[in-house]
Amino acid sequence: MREYALVFVVAAAVTFLVTPLTRRFALRIGALAEIRDRDVHAVPTPRLGGLAMFAGLAAGLLVAGQLPFLSAVSRDYGEPRAVLAAGFLICLLGAVDDRFGIDAITKLAGQVLAAGVMVLLGIQLSYALLPNGETVALGPETAVPLTILLTVVLVNALNFVDGLDGLAAGVAAIAALAEFAYSYQIAVNNGLYRATPATLIAVATAGVCIGFLPHNFYPARQFMGDSGSMLVGLLLAASVTSVTGQVSYGGIAGGDALPSLLPLAVPLMVLAVPFVDLALAVVRRTRAGRSPFSPDKQHLHHRLLEIGHSHVRAVLLMWMWAALLGFGGVLASFSNSPIPVATAFVLLTLLSLILVRYPGRGSGSSHRAAGRHAGRASADRTARPPVLPPNERAVPPGAGTEPSGRGNPALGTRA
């Protein structure tokens, strides 16, 4: 466990320290998130946070390869190399999109390519659970397309949920920590070696998200952009996929405490918030006769703002939902006494619903004030450029123009 903690700290520290460098780089090349009608930020904000997150990931996995206990993962498994190779590809794809903008079809093709590289290097689903409770091994003809599909869905789910400062980073960190707990407990309960690829990937993912969060929480100094949201989505997919290879799922909770389907559902429960948001967006846009990839301002976080919640309160509520579903599923899957877990889950769920229904005194007015500020900024941005320190200007001083950055019309960017 101490070596896992060290990997977490290294990944978080490197991400935190490299992020200011990527911010300056984004400002220099004009990779800025401009203000659009559906956005909630009031000033153009640098993207490319995924570059710092990939640096943190690489540092964490490199350190793990030198540790006495965790070095066995790099030596005996191909998963660390697979996530680095696939992560580099998808981060590069996202970085190009952050700066220049990529159409949805090209982006989807790049996501499939990165997922295919991950599968080719050894990360793919191993088991499936039938409705009757039987576990079956998956052959390559089934495992490969299912793994690619899962990866692409998760990548886009994280992309869709990246709409408020700190939201995607926090949800992803919670999901990764829940996945870490789940994978580690599987190894403990089944007497397996505790250095596993799924656990290592999950703890490194949590580290890079926590390291980036101080720069990304409201008011954000930098966005992770597509380079970050797609990278984190791929990492979560890799961890969820890898955990299916640790052990077949029968009997993980012991006895008949819970239905045998629950353990397989836990990896999906930890990511329920982005999955639900993605599903609602696709249904909503399809019913309106629009492309599922067309952006709008009706995501879950937008609806919380409309109710009257402040920016921070909306983010914290969605973090609470992610933690309830993720850690609730982990606790339930390994508990022989599900009634206390279920009772706590129901009470906390009711509390969250009460908090949603009553935004709190001052929340609505602060959000309306922020909206008015965003509207003024949107109206004035063509009249004057944002004021930046001289060493962070995206154009030479005296040019009299605004930094050149394009909003991304494609799938889910700050949607």
- Kindly tell me if the per-residue pLDDT of 389 is higher than 80: no
Q: Is 387 within a domain?
A: no
Domain, as residue range, for 307: 2-250+257-364
Burial of 82 (0-12, 13-18, 19+ CB in 10 A): buried
- How high does pLDDT run on average in the chain? 78
Q: Of 307 and 122, which is predicted with more confidence?
A: 122
Calpha distance 281→295 (Å, rounded): 9
Adjacent-strand bridge partners of 32? 46
Please say whether the beta carbons of 168 and 158 come within 8 A. yes
Mean pLDDT on 221-247: 88
Burial of 397 (0-12, 13-18, 19+ CB in 10 A): exposed
Give per-residue burial for 286-306: e unless 16+ CB within 10 Å, then b: eeeeeeebebebebbbbebbe
- Kindly tell me if the per-residue pLDDT of 59 is higher than 90: yes
Q: Is 393 within a domain?
A: no
The most confident of 112-116, 345-349, 359-363, 380-384, by mean pLDDT: 112-116
Residue 1: other Cβ atoms inside 10 A:
9
The continuous run of DSSP H or E covering 318 comes out as helix 311-334
Q: Is 375 within a domain?
A: no
**44 confidence band (pLDDT: 50, 70, 90):** confident
Q: Is 60 within a domain?
A: yes
Calpha distance 393→259 (Å, rounded): 58
Q: Of 138 and 25, which is predicted with more confidence?
A: 25
**Side-chain half-sphere exposure of 367, counting CA atoms within 13 A:** 23
User: Number of folded domains in the chain?
Assistant: 1
The single residue listed with the structure tokens 């949107």 is: 378
The predicted pLDDT at position 297 comes to 66
- Kindly tell me if the per-residue pLDDT of 376 is higher than 60: no
Please say whether the beta carbons of 151 and 116 come within 8 A. no
- Kindly tell me if the per-residue pLDDT of 23 is higher than 70: yes
Cα distances from 2 to residues 13, 63, 194, in angstroms, run: 16, 13, 12
Q: Of 87 and 282, which is predicted with more confidence?
A: 87
Give alpha helix (H) positions in 30-65: 49-64
The predicted pLDDT at position 266 comes to 62
Cα distances from 84 to residues 61, 81, 123, 235, 397, in angstroms, run: 9, 5, 12, 9, 39
Calpha distance 415→408 (Å, rounded): 10
Q: DSSP letters of 89-145?
A: HHHHHHHHHHHH---HHHHHHHHHHHHHHHHHTT----EEE-TTS-EEEPPHHHHHH
Please say whether the beta carbons of 82 and 121 come within 8 A. yes
Q: Is 216 within a domain?
A: yes
The predicted pLDDT at position 313 comes to 85
The predicted pLDDT at position 257 comes to 36
**157 confidence band (pLDDT: 50, 70, 90):** confident
Q: Is 274 within a domain?
A: yes
The predicted pLDDT at position 276 comes to 76
The predicted pLDDT at position 51 comes to 97
Please say whether the beta carbons of 300 and 318 come within 8 A. yes
Q: Is 384 within a domain?
A: no
Name the nearest CA neighbour of 327 among 173, 196, 153, 165. Answer: 173
Calpha distance 295→306 (Å, rounded): 17
Q: Is 325 within a domain?
A: yes
Q: pTM score, two decimals? A: 0.78
